[in-house]
Amino acid sequence: MGHLQSGQHIQKRCTNCFHDKMEIIKVSERDFNEKVVYMLWIQCPECGTNDSELVPENLSFS
């Protein structure tokens, strides 16, 4: 999953200030029995709120 990397902005609304873009601060791979998913650690550039998102291997963000 080379298209998601640290520093990249994704379209996701902040739960604290409702800003519509979040910045990826870390991407880690999780291997389950038959699927690989990625844990995105994200942060709002406006208020600094941290959040996480679990995404499947074949999902792409805009």
Tokens standing for residue 62: 């805009």
Q: What is the CATH number of domain 9-56?
A: 2.20.25
Q: Which of 35, 41, 42, 32 lies closest to 59, judged by CA? A: 35
4-12: average pLDDT: 90
How large a percentage of the chain has pLDDT more than 90? 58
pLDDT at 1 over 50: no
Is the pTM here over 0.75, yes or no? yes
pLDDT at 61 over 60: no
Q: What is the pLDDT of residues 12-42, one digit of tens each?
A: 999 999 999 999 999 998 888 888 889 999 9
Q: Which of 31, 19, 26, 34 lies closest to 4, judged by CA? A: 26
Tokens standing for residue 8: 């990249």
More confident residue, 61 or 44: 44
Ordered by start, the domain boundaries in the chain are 9-56
Strand partners, 23: 9, 43
Tracing tokens 């690989």 back to the chain, one arrives at: 36
